Chain A
């Protein structure tokens, strides 16, 4: 069980970082590894779950919590915090792991994930979990709420940023595009959307269910500062978030980081399994998953 966290290293002031140094990449890669490890442990307790999504999005979550967000672990409601909204409520398994990594949720609480009376329900809810800003899950809500938060923070003179995490399947929901127009119209320069493009949704591959591509052109045409990166490349993620941070302003273009990710990333057994929205993992496979994850991480780290 990994025990380190990045909480002590969370940025306390609004410092812009411009160089993607090996140290930053290593720190976030290690955090992403721990998030994946937590997610596998949480999935094992339930025997199933959205482990594939958590593994795929771990690098995004590690980057935003480990490098970008301004927060106080001991005071999750601190007024000056940046807001991270999990619109895709079912990614909560990954988000809880990130909250543990951030020191907001105790690591030893993660094993209660999805159990009766747990603060960590299967679908993320603000009324249950410290550090969870909204109750996602009904997809297409997060970005509309984010627009209101960004308006409200700006009106009250706050420079806090708002990050909304959504997924490519979620882009089917028209409300996102209402919000995309609204954010641009109101020039919410402190709003950043991060889209996990894993090309998979409940009924199958995104391009067979309802084609969302060309995604980049869509966001650009809505007036957003748009970047598209390999969402499992920590260096690329850091560079993209740095770019977004550099152009963030109370009044300005909202930004979106489109992240192409791989479901099950970091665990070859799951990366190569037939892709499923809700992944079934056999009892004996969890340990194999953990071993593959660690071998891959240590192999990369020593390379």
Chain B
């Protein structure tokens, strides 16, 4: 309050001074590193490819075609694309209706709107009848600096309780390209945490293939095991390399399918003497950490698990690199946390 008053009554002399140039902006919306290999709109192109092989695939969006890479599909198959307007209840109700007629809809919007505005429609119209409705949610977790209206920090927590729903949190363009046809082929509803635009290409160097429902060990390591999903697998791999310089040997297990969860693979990796760390682009409540924790407890494994996750709070607006550093998703923060844990 007082700050505002002061600013309003600031002496005229200060206005002549050059404004300091702001270095960061919420418009910095990419989490790719400078110079990193990327692929443009991998979801849109993968959907077009899948649709060329499966004439049942249709696309819908709620006024966010250009922002969820759905526009690629709309351009390729205008007669198979349905614009539903800024109406998410209609978007997902209609997607269920399309699936009722035997089609395979992919319906895109931002994750916040899918999870928060349209849950009832997804739950009852798509999940209860177990229809092949594929939800494509942009801006999952902390992938925008727009603040809580756009940051879907709790989308997996919301969706994990929905019976029948498969949840996929891809790391990169490789994951997305390979996941799309598998999501179309799988029965029942799915939720894809979309990475859009120029998406990093990371997993091609690890002899990796995406298999729905499977976790994959990307690299072995004797001291620490990272269990990660989504873009945090990219950070986990980078942190593992950085930790090698500290003589810390880190294994990385990528688990892009959050539900149903590949507990067998993950538990086999966790049930060792290594420090176990989960890494996710999501709230510490209700996401990968708690998925792993419940698997660990259920199996009776007496093992501490350290979470790298977003805090249970509404996050700040700002530039993505700033926020990833602030909330502990940046590589340096991961490295520091692991070194502190190892004492």
Contact = CB atoms under 8 A, between A and B. Distances in A.
Interface in B52-105: 58, 79-80, 82, 84-85, 87, 89-90, 92-103, 105
- State which size class the interface on A falls in: 20 to 34
B74 to A, nearest CB: 14
Instruction: Give the interface centre of A138, A144, A155 by most chain B CB atoms within 10 Å.
Output: A144
A150 B97 contact: yes
A145 B89 contact: no
A146 B128 contact: no
B103 A144 contact: no
Contacts of B87: 178-179, 181-182
B97 A148 contact: yes
A268 to B, nearest CB: 37
Instruction: Give the interface centre of B79, B95, B98 by most chain A CB atoms within 10 Å.
Output: B98
Given A127-B128, A134-B125, A152-B103, A181 B97 contact: no
B102 A145 contact: no
B128 A145 contact: no
Nearest to A164: B97
A14 interface: no
Contacts of B128: 125, 127, 135
A148 B85 contact: no
Interface in A228-267: none
A18 interface: no
Nearest to B56: A156
Interface string A124-166: 0111000001110110110111111111110110100000000
B226 interface: no
Nearest to A126: B129
A175 interface: yes
A145 B101 contact: no
Contacts of A153: 101
A179 B90 contact: yes
A267 to B, nearest CB: 33
Contact of B98 (A135, A143, A151): A151
Contacts of B124: 135, 137-138, 141
A178 B101 contact: no
B89 A175 contact: yes
B120 interface: yes
Instruction: Give the interface centre of B90, B97, B105, B125 by most chain A CB atoms within 10 Å.
Output: B97
A174 interface: yes
B89 A155 contact: no
B294 to A, nearest CB: 28
Contact of A141 (B79, B99, B100, B125): B125
Contact of B94 (A125, A134, A144): A144
B80 A148 contact: no
Contact of A152 (B92, B93, B98): B98
A153 B324 CA distance: 46
B106 interface: no
B289 interface: no
A155 B58 contact: yes
A144 B129 contact: no
A256 B51 CA distance: 35
A181 B90 CA distance: 10
B191 interface: no
Interface string B121-162: 100110011000000000000000000000000000000000
Main secondary structure of the interface of B (DSSP, over half): helix
Contacts of A150: 97
Contacts of B96: 144-145, 148
Contacts of A156: 101-103
Contacts of A175: 89-90, 93, 121
Contacts of A186: 82
A280 interface: no
Given A140-B89, A141-B121, A152 B129 contact: no
Contacts of B103: 152, 155-156
Interface in B238-274: none
Contacts of B121: 141, 144, 175
A228 B90 CA distance: 25
A53 B102 CA distance: 33
A185 interface: yes
Contact of A148 (B79, B94, B120, B129): B94
Contacts of B80: 155
A133 B100 contact: yes
Contacts of A148: 93-101, 105
B85 A181 contact: yes
Contacts of B93: 141, 143-145, 147-148, 175, 179
A145 B85 contact: no
Given A148-B101, A152-B101, A156-B103, 9 more contacts: A125-B128, A144-B92, A145-B125, A148-B96, A149-B98, A151-B97, A152-B58, A174-B89, A186-B82
29 contacts: A127-B129, A135-B125, A137-B124, A138-B120, A140-B89, A141-B93, A144-B97, A144-B125, A145-B93, A145-B94, A147-B97, A148-B94, A148-B97, A148-B100, A148-B105, A150-B97, A151-B82, A151-B97, A151-B98, A152-B100, A152-B103, A155-B79, A155-B103, A179-B90, A179-B94, A181-B90, A182-B87, A182-B94, A185-B85
Interface of B: 58, 79-80, 82, 84-85, 87, 89-90, 92-103, 105, 120-121, 124-125, 128-129
| A-B interface, 10 closest residue pairs, ranked by CB to CB distance from nearest | A148-B97, A144-B93, A152-B101, A148-B94, A178-B87, A175-B89, A149-B97, A178-B90, A145-B97, A152-B98
